[in-house]
Amino acid sequence: MDTQRRPLIGGNWKMHGDGDEAISLANSLADARSVAELVVFPPFVHLGVVTDVLADSEVMVGAQDVSPHESGAHTGQTSARMLLDCGCTWTLVGHSERRHELGENDSLCAAKVTRALQEGLNVMLCVGETLEEREAGNAHQVVQDQLLESLKGCSSLDPGRLALAYEPVWAIGTGLTATPEDAQDMHQALRKTLSGRYDASSATGCRILYGGSVKPANAAALLTCPDIDGALVGGASLSADSFLAIASAAESWTSS
Ligand code: 13P
């Protein structure tokens, strides 16, 4: 992590928990104070209650997905404007579970990124390679292609509004984590790609988070890497204690 970028820690609650559990988890985060920015991504049906609980807190709320459409006859979809209206400030785009389970491709991700940014939502764009792609030596190419294709509609990059999450698919929910060296290597390459596509100062300002089995025990080793600016946490974000312990790992590094 570089001290010129404020760390960002995201909690992706995925499809876990009922309404009471979402309220209780949000309540346990409501008083959190951190050097890092904190954002949680609850299931859609709990967004209303979670944004209510966290309204006066420092914890931001985001959606796990957003429609590429402005409004209209799009059954089951949720527009950026609806999310903003409900108190969200962020959305994930291109999470690997959506790419792989629902067949979302880069051009759909690009449409979502463009729409969300246009409407005023901040975007956390997720990229990552599968195990087969890594073993074939293609990880960098795959991830770079995902990045450039998904940003196709963005002619400029506002680092305050767009963050990246590098989440190797083989590390998600498996207990396997990329080594800090491999993760740093990929983050540095992503930043270089951003610099080539945009400019050095936007690339330097853009937060690139690591995701994939991040836990309190491995967070510090990852967050000390110069190009790792935070974490996108799945399983460990379902407990306030472990989520905040990961945020404190960012804190101890930033203040050291
Ligand atoms: P886990 O932390 O459960 O591996 O999930 C990572 C993830 O997919 C966050 O978006």
Span 43-65, pLDDT tens digits: 999 999 999 999 999 999 999 99
CATH of 8-235, one of 3.30.360.10, 3.30.565.10, 3.20.20.70, 3.40.50.300: 3.20.20.70
Whole-model pTM: value is: 0.96
- Tokens 């590390």 locate to 171
Catalytic residue among 97, 104, 129, 167: 167
Mean pLDDT of 4-16: 96
* Distance between CA atoms of residues 172 and 214, nearest Å: 9
Residue 95: active-site member: yes
- In the chain, where the domains are located: 8-235
**Which of 248, 222, 217 is closest to 235 using CA atoms?**
217
Identify whether the C-beta of residue 33 lies closer than 8 Å to the C-beta of residue 58. yes
Ligand 1 centre distance from Cα of residue 73 (Å): 32
Q: pLDDT tier at 252 (50, 70, 90 boundaries)?
A: low
Within 6 Å (CB) of ligand 1, which residues are found? Answer: 12, 95, 167, 172-173, 211-214, 232-236
Atom number, ligand 1, closest to the C-alpha of residue 233: 2
In this model, does residue 249 exceed pLDDT 90? yes
> Which of 65, 125, 214 maximizes ligand 1 atoms within 8 Å of its Cβ, making it the mutation to test the pocket?
214
In this model, does residue 256 exceed pLDDT 70? no
Condensed to tens digits (0 to 9), the pLDDT of residues 69-93 reads 999 999 999 999 999 999 999 999 9
Ligand 1 centre distance from Cα of residue 27 (Å): 22
In this model, does residue 189 exceed pLDDT 90? yes
